[in-house]
Structures are given as structure tokens and as C-alpha cells.
Structure 1
Amino acid sequence: MAELEEIGDRATAHPARAQNLVYTLPHTTESIAEFLTPILSRVDPSAGGTQVVVVTRDAETALTISETILRLSGPAAIEVVPITSAGRAGRIFRSRPVLAVAGTAVELSGLVRASLLKAEAVRTIAVAWVDDILGEGEETVRALEALLGELTDAGRVIVARKATPALENFVERYARRARRTGIAETVAPQLPVDYELPIIMYLTVARSARSIALRKLLDDLDPPSALIVARDEAAASEATQTLRTLGYHQDDKSINVIRGEPGNAAAHTVIFYQPPVTPAELQRVAVAKPVQIVALAAPGEVAWLREL
């Protein structure tokens, strides 16, 4: 993080263009904080204008980014306004300063065309996650390219799940000489010699409806024991509250919420409250030797889940 801040200090000293960066990160709330916190820390409220633009695959990802920054930084920090509709967002732009936004390339381009998003004020444009956006089809890619063409003086931050030829081509075109950063690969534990992971099932659900989906899933499966795996504290708290409303107590031995390693506990069913993002996450739950594994996944996360 100190290295990123140093890069940013050097970059913002040059008024024309900030340092380009490429992050290789899983699609998690922790990753949002990893790439976006250094960018927001360099926003200058006194300068005015929209200084940070985050391009997302869909409105739901934009909302997740906004919620994550608000939860981590609090209401007094720089907010990221989600652009779920250019028309609605236009009213916000006309009523008060907007320092940072997140939305699809189509909606953001609408703000540029309406002269509400001023290209000269934008210091950084982040594309997260670029693999998702490139996979959306030609119309979405053209909208992204047009937006990058409008914001030519902004530094580029490209976020991807993994290095691919498509990513390298995109970086070569739009973020040349970018500095690379990311998280170290997690070592996957060995599977128990007498156990093979079952086929992983998934339930497609909006992130905002995970708690309802968890309740219905437990009713339908009625597992004799289960581990609900949550990646971050907010998700773990939400899943725990759902169990409480279903009558499970904190000291219940059969149905539990965990973060990270499952320990030595065996479980009939493992439910990923948030989908796994690395093979290591899947193999960790093998310690519990589950009979079935189910992942709750947003529509945009299914393709990545299948790759695992």
C-alpha cells in the first residue's frame, strides 16, 4: 500500500496524466478497497468536479462498490455515487458536487454527453472488472472504448481477475507502461486422501437477496449439518442474522457461519454465502468432507464460478 501511495504522489505531481496501474484481484469487497482506497485518498475536494470514474459491468456492481466504500470509510469520507441511471444521476450532479462515480460505460457516457461529467476534471478512470466488461459483447466494449476516448487525460487503473491475452491487448491499447500489482496466490491445501469434492451446485441470486435465498435453501435442503462460508465480516453478520431468525442459536453445533478455514468440523452441506474466487477456497472446505456444496452467486459471477 505504501508503494501505491508513493506511485500516486509521483503521478499527481504531473498534471497531464496519472500513473497507469493494472491490478490482478479476485472479485471481492476486499479487492474493491485494495484498488479504490488509494485512488480516493488523492481526491481533492477543494478542486471540485468529478475526479474519479469507476466503470463497471452493471449497475449492481456499481452499487456494491458504493456500499463497500461507505461501509469501510463512513459517511464523512469521499463517497462513490452509483450511476444506475444517467437521468436520475443528472439531478444529483446539478444539486451538489460529485467527486467520484461508478457505473456502466453506457450510463457514464450519457453524463459526458450531457456535459455533467467534465472530462478535464477526471484524474483517474478505473475499469473493474475488465474481464467481465469485455465479456459483455461488442456494444458494451464500444461504449467503454468511447468513454476512454473522452477521458484521455485521466490515469487508467485496470482491474482483472487474471492475466489473459484479452487483458494484455486491452492494457496495450489503453494503459501502456502500466505498473502491475495484485495479491499473492493462495496455496491450495491438499484434499484428504479418502475424499473427492462433490459437484458444486450454484443458485443464481442478486447480492441484495442472499439472506432470503439462504433461508429458502436451508428449508429446501434441510441438511443435518451445514457450514455457511462468508468471506467478509458484513456477509458473515448477515448470514448469522438469518440463522438467528430461523431459530438457530449461537452455540448450535449443526448449522454455523464461518470465515476462512472450517477447522476440523465435519458438515453434510457447505453453502458459500459468497461464491469462492480461488481453487484454494474450494479445497479448504474439503476438510469438512461435505456431501454437497452450494454457492450463492450473482448472475455476473456464474461464468467465473464455472471456471473454478
Structure 2
Amino acid sequence: MESEAKEPTGVTRGQNAVHVMPLDWSAAERVVATLVDRIDPSRTETQLLVVTADAESATAAADALVHAVADRPIRVVAATASPRAGRLLKTSPAQVVTGAPTELAALLQASALKPESVRGVVFAWLESILETQDGAPLETLLGELPKEGSRTVLAAELTPALEMLIERYARRARRSAEPTGEAAAPLSAEYVATAGTARAATLRRLLDALDLPRAVLYARSETARREALRVARALGYPAEAVRLSTEAAEADADPLVLVELPATREELRALVGTTGRRIYALIQPSQLASLRALLGGGTVAPVALLEAAERARGKDAALRASLRDVLVSGDVRREVLALEPLLAEFDGIEIAAAALRMLEQQRPARPAATATAQNQPMQRLFVNLG
């Protein structure tokens, strides 16, 4: 009897797959764990490429993969700059490489990345760069990679451009998305945009600005949970006032602060419960679309933190002070006569606001510093070296 062919040990075992989920690597833990399990640690060449939108996303992807790898002998390199990544890969190859299309294509061109060994590709939330210059090298990159192997697509929403990508490079992909179910009432939220590395500082600023006596903090990953609790305790909140939650809400109406985004709309609604909690979210700018999708069509508004609000109030106070000086010390009778007919249609404060807007629009742009330098005559400089 003929022996069956042995299945390859690389990431080739996986079929093409599309996962619709928020732009948050903590929401993709199961997908990442599956991809890491398919890597053969005994082979040092690159087996998995994770294509991201930019350098920051490449770093976040590498961090999630390193966490999933744990103590296994699997090396991960974030190609945030192709010269540095190329030097590292030529010295010591890595089984996993993450990066934007431009950086990965540059590594292939420099022969730092060997395409023949790649057996799996992950397209990680590329909606923002498809059909832009940043996504242009993607076709060149994929043209160099082997056609066999798995293709995994992570997306916050399936845009037409992404559907074209799936049709070309991940055909007949198994799709995993949140079930539609019954239509539920949309939720509303307020958010603060922050960088992933500044999450703790932004949470502190948010708690200062809102001055919440009680709150529920939601975080999925262990790192984010420790970070959030450390901030709450440092600010002096008792354990019963600001508590951590990772599952269904308790029967209270304490505000919900999303340190990380839930993976599904059902998960968010379980956290909100039936008491109508107010929702505040800490998100990266690229996660705004994911937050809107989780809310199901509700309103989304930014939170004005104390520093920004104080700066705005200071600017407005200076404007009022300048107007007060003009009204006290100047003669504005001519301007009053010019504006008086408008009082029959508009309130006086509306006329003043319109005048201020016209002033801002007519304010000339500040000339470039280089323009003056270019208009200056050339000078001769004599240097005596002796």
C-alpha cells in the first residue's frame, strides 16, 4: 500500500481566511496563535509575512506575535526601516517579518528577504492604504512570493478595494465575521485619540478631565489590564470605585471606559448591559472606523481633555480682551453704522461672530522663511587660512 504524502510542517497547512474584526491585535489573539502554531521552529528562514499599513502597525503586529511565541525559538522582526531590518535578516534570519509594503518590497529587492521560503501572508487591516501610493508596492511584493501557501486577511470592514485584493490573492477564502442577528439600537460613545505607546498617560488625562466618581475599565490583554489598574491606583481610586471588567456588565450604570476595543458588537453590548452606561474609548486614529462599526451607527464624538480645553479657553479669553480694548479705547461708530442694517435679520452676537470668521479667512498666510533668504543678493566671503 502506498504511503500517504507527509503534510509540510510550515504555515502551508492553513487555507485562505478573511476575519472581520476591530483594528486591534488583542482582538486577533486566536488568529495570531493559530499562525504561530503553524511555524516550524527548526527552519530559520522566513515563513510568515505580516503586511501592515505603516511602521507603527508593524511594531504592534510584532509585539502581538512575540507575545504569542512566548518561549518558543521563533524570531520576529518588525521591518519599520528596511536598512536596519535588512542588516538584521542578513545576519540572523527570522521566521516572521512584519512591515508595510514599501519596506517589505525593499527587503526583497536587497535580497535580505528570501521569497521562496515564505509560506503564509497576513494582510493586516490594509483598508487605509489600498488604492494609495503607500499600497502601490503591494502588487510587486506579492508577485515575488510563492503562489502556494495561506493568505489571511484581517479587516475592520470589507471595502471594494479589499474585496478586489481578496479576489486576486485570497480566492475562495473562508470568511469569519460577526453574525448579523437582530438589529439592535445603536450605541453612542465619546473617544480620545492616542498612540498605542501613550495609552496609560491618555487614560490618566481622561480620568482627570471626566472626574468620574466610579467607572468600569475594559481591557482584553493582560498588559493593558495591568496598565489600566496601575493608573487607577496611582490616581487614588479605591478598588471598588474603578474596577476592571472583561465580560458581561454588572447591574449598575457606572460609565464604561474602553482601554481596548471589544472584538464584537455583542461583546460590547454585554459590557454595556441594560442600564445605559456612558461609553468612553481610548483609540488610535486608525481605529475610529472600528469603533463606529462596534457601536452600530450611533454617534461618536471626541472628548476635550483638560489641556486642549484650557488652551482653547485661553485663546478665546485673549480674543475677548482684545475686543474689549477696542470697544473701550477706540471709535467704532463708523463700523456700527455699516452693520446696523443686519440687525433687522440677525442677532448682534451672530454678526460679530461672522465678522471674526471673515477676519480669520482673510488673514494672510505667513510667508515662508526661505522666501526672504532667496531674495537676498549673494555675498562673497573671503577666508584667510594661515
Q: TM-score, normalised by structure 2?
A: 0.66
Match of 1:55 among 34, 51, 58: 51
Tell me whether 1:219 sits opposite 2:208 in the alignment: yes
CA, structure 1 residues 259+245, in 2 after alignment: closer, same or farther (shift >3 Å)?
A: same
Question: Number of residues paired by the alignment?
Answer: 286
Alignment of 1:178-193 (within 5 A): 178=173, 180-182=174-176, 185=179
CA, structure 1 residues 76+59, in 2 after alignment: closer, same or farther (shift >3 Å)?
A: same
Task: Give per-residue Cα distances to partners, 1:173-227, cap 9 Å, x unaligned.
Answer: 112233x043653868967xxxx95x41111101111111111111111012211
Structure 1 or 2, whichever has the larger Rg, is 2
Task: Give per-residue Cα distances to partners, 1:132-182, cap 9 Å, x unaligned.
Answer: 443xx421221212211121335222222344544332221112233x043
SS of structure 1 residue aligned to 2:192: strand
SS of structure 1 residue aligned to 2:72: coil
Give 1:113 shift: 0.9
CA, structure 1 residues 93+271, in 2 after alignment: closer, same or farther (shift >3 Å)?
A: same
User: In the alignment, is the contact (CA less than 8 A) between 1:23 and 1:35 conserved in 2?
Assistant: no
Match of 2:119 among 117, 123, 145: 123
- Cross-structure match for 1:169: 164
Tell me, in whole angstroms, the C-alpha distance in 2 between the residues paired with 1:23 and 1:37. Answer: 16
User: In the alignment, is the contact (CA less than 8 A) between 1:50 and 1:99 conserved in 2?
Assistant: yes
Tell me, in whole angstroms, the C-alpha distance in 1 between the residues paired with 2:265 and 2:42. Answer: 45
SS of structure 1 residue aligned to 2:103: helix
Give 1:21 shift: 0.9
Give 1:91 shift: 2.2
Give 1:48 shift: 3.2
Structure 1 stretch 67-76 or stretch 232-241: which is displaced more? 67-76
Tell me, in whole angstroms, the C-alpha distance in 1 between the residues paired with 2:182 and 2:134. Answer: 35
Letter in 1 for 2:269: Q
Structure 1, unaligned runs of 5 or more:
1-8
Task: Give per-residue Cα distances to partners, 1:247-282, cap 9 Å, x unaligned.
Answer: 2233x2x22221121211221x32111134533344
Match of 2:31 among 31, 35, 40: 35
Tell me, in whole angstroms, the C-alpha distance in 2 between the residues paired with 1:236 and 1:249. Answer: 16
Tell me whether 1:289 sits opposite 2:285 in the alignment: no
Bigger relative contact order, structure 1 or 2, given CA contacts below 8 A and separation 6+? 1
CA, structure 1 residues 255+19, in 2 after alignment: closer, same or farther (shift >3 Å)?
A: closer
User: In the alignment, is the contact (CA less than 8 A) between 2:46 and 2:118 conserved in 1?
Assistant: yes
Match of 1:143 among 125, 137, 146: 137
Q: TM-score, normalised by structure 1?
A: 0.81
Letter in 1 for 2:196: R
After superposition, the CA RMSD in angstroms is 2.9
User: In the alignment, is the contact (CA less than 8 A) between 1:127 and 1:157 conserved in 2?
Assistant: yes
Tell me whether 1:97 sits opposite 2:58 in the alignment: no
Tell me whether 1:273 sits opposite 2:273 in the alignment: no
Structure 2, unaligned runs of 5 or more:
1-5, 296-386
Alignment of 1:69-108 (within 5 A): 69-108=65-104
- Cross-structure match for 1:44: 40
Give 1:288 shift: 4.1
- Cross-structure match for 2:105: 109
Tell me, in whole angstroms, the C-alpha distance in 2 between the residues paired with 1:19 and 1:276. Answer: 26
Tell me, in whole angstroms, the C-alpha distance in 2 between the residues paired with 1:188 and 1:130. Answer: 29
